A and B are shown apart, each in its own frame.
Chain A
Amino acid sequence: MSKEIKSSKALPNIWQKPKFVPKMTPRSWTGIALISPPFAYSLLMLAAPLLLVFLLSMWTQNYLELDRTFTFANYKEAASEKLYQVLMIRSVVISGVVTIVTVLLAYPIAYYIAFFGGKRKSMWLLLITIPFWTSYLIRVFLWKVILGYNGVINGSLMGLGFIEEPLTFILYNANAVVITLAHAWAPFAILPIFVSLSRIDFSLLEAARDLGDGPLRRFFRVTLPLSMPGVVAASLIVFIPTVGDYVTPRLLGGTNGLMIANMIQIQFGKANNAPLGSALAVSAMIIVASASIAFVLLNRRFLKVKG
């Protein structure tokens, strides 16, 4: 009998009042009041739509009705259909190229502002944001004017006699999409690279010089590795949104430049298959997330980048 008592003592009594009851002081109410708006905002604007897309992707569209039985059929179709595969790979490739081009072009600009900007740093940064003063659509149409059959580039080159016929590889294909996106996303790449370059302690650069490095060796051994956090940030900022870009391929991509977002739009619109569109969207999200994580991990591993 005494044994029984002992064992019951060892068991936690779930009916007992928990020892720690958070007391609601006026201070904690203030805290809750302060975090509530952003919490409600992220719940409504981010979590809810995402959840809806997840749910939708596991249902089936039967002409006008939604069949709410749980299924992975949409994902199977998204993964096996040749057209979707092609579009997905093309999206990732175009985004990858855009990212490389953007970062390669942004780096020297960020470098110049960080090390040679002097007192005019903020002026340079302001100038870089100027394209944002107009709508993105207008900028896309401007590129059409520049790259078009009778556009600025072809007109000038023909006028100068460099070419006989207009160049056609610069509009209504993937190249046009890359050029336009690289231009549009340049400031987003310049800023993080600029920040990481300005953070470099100048005495580190002098130390490299002092230990025998010329300017080029020093760049690859000190400046570049120390600015890699900015490069990684810039790459992710450009890569993640451009995979899902929809306007640019639609207006400049022609038929060979269409990307996965255009197909998602078709599924939600003309094709009237929102569940398949959702499955494509979720698949794209998973692929982008994995690619980004792989990129960050590889950087950690080989370049010892510490964020």
Chain B
Amino acid sequence: MTKQHEREPIINIQNVEKHYGSVTALDGVSIKIEAGEFFSLLGPSGCGKTTLLRIISGFDNPSVGTVFIGGADMTDVPPNERPTNMVFQSYAIFPHLNVADNVGYGLKKQKLPKEEIDRRVDDALKLVDLEGYGPRESHALSGGQRQRVALARALIMKPKVLLLDEPLSALDKKLRETMQSELRKLQRTVGITFVLVTHDQEEALTMSDRIAVMFDGRIAQIDSPEGLYRRPISRRVASFIGVMNFIPATVIENTNKILSLNIKSLGQLDIKTSSALKKSEVITVGIRPEMLTILYNKSDTSEYSFNASIENASYYGDMTYYEVFIEDTDIKATVSMRNTAGRPVLEIGSKARVGWGKDSITIL
């Protein structure tokens, strides 16, 4: 007889609340994180993401709710007895110890033979590309090296879950981008569940398997990066993840799963949908800047198009972002264009025809 088990999540947070006096930092948060996942908690500062991470690590206790890690109730277990390890925002490298002693810090307690510790420290340093750095003094390390030491120090403990508290925020842009892909690679190599806290949507999108977007102590949406970008469930999520143009629209009809919309000043269109919007309801539709195209030639065609005047142009080298006013309205839209051959940067104040398609519309 074989039992069909649903895969047990490595972290199961059930209905967690955290109150500091009259301030509510977390309000009814429930998350299940699968083993081996790269999971990000994304949100603006003060949204409770760090508090949630500290509750997973054991440095804070929830006021209400339960935290299961690896199937066991860990709600009241102190951090030193949890199968989690943390990479701190400040890296928290012990200044009085050299690199090898920092990395081997957690092993010392396990009463392993010295050779075993040395071997595992070397392995861990190799894993983060710091081979031979063992005898270095920790205060002589650069920011990127400190972060690698912090990673090695946590990974050597072979935790079930590695917690990362804004680990890249102290690095400069170039190094941050390198570390993003390295962290992702590292996570695939070791196969440990990573839980990352970040306020940087780009960081979350490029690294994660799944992202939980948090606002005001609540989970707004949990989805894959693509799902979040393509199907944000609210205006707030949509504008937090990337840029989105919001245009008001009115429902003309909603029958047989075909929604007829009158989008202000852009005209009427029909979309397949399963939503239960009613006739003459006023809604917002969203469209990403890259879904809008400036039609340079008169012969260029598009499913739909509108005339616009260019309000502003920001040149990024590979891309140009245009702020345009839809003609005869006060609706502003952002259009992003790749600067390929035959696409000159348009002058501010000039007119342009902008094309779009109904598949790129998101109903919010």
Contact = CB atoms under 8 A, between A and B. Distances in A.
A210 B80 contact: yes
Contacts of B309: none
A204 B88 CA distance: 9
A201 B79 contact: no
Interface in A213-241: 213-214, 217, 221-222, 225-226
B96 interface: yes
B78 A204 contact: no
Contacts, number: 57
B349 interface: no
Size bracket, chain A contacts: 20 to 34
Contacts of B88: 203, 206-207
A208 interface: yes
Interface residues of B, number: 22
Contacts of B80: 209-214
Interface of B is mostly: loop
B45 to A, nearest CB: 18
Interface string B105-129: 1100110000000000000000000
B90 A211 contact: no
Contacts of B304: none
Interface string B71-90: 00000001110001110111
B92 interface: yes
Contacts of B59: 206, 209-210
Interface in B96-110: 96, 105-106, 109-110
A121 interface: no
Nearest to B109: A212
A211 B96 contact: no
A207 B106 CA distance: 10
Given A203-B90, A206-B79, A211 B85 contact: yes
B95 interface: yes
B153 A211 contact: yes
Given A206-B59, A211-B106, A211-B157, A201 B96 contact: no
A68 interface: no
A304 interface: yes
A241 to B, nearest CB: 29
Q: Looking at A209, A222, A304, which has the most chain B CB atoms within 10 Å of its CB?
A: A209
Given A209-B78, A210-B80, A212-B80, A204 B94 contact: yes
Contact of B96 (A210, A214, A217, A226): A226
21 contacts: A203-B89, A204-B92, A204-B95, A206-B59, A206-B88, A207-B88, A208-B94, A208-B105, A210-B57, A210-B85, A210-B86, A210-B154, A211-B85, A211-B153, A211-B157, A212-B80, A212-B106, A221-B105, A226-B96, A305-B96, A306-B96
Interface of B: 57, 59, 78-80, 84-86, 88-90, 92, 94-96, 105-106, 109-110, 153-154, 157
Q: Ordered nearest first, which 5 A-B pairs have the shortest CB separation?
A: A211-B106, A207-B92, A203-B92, A225-B96, A210-B86
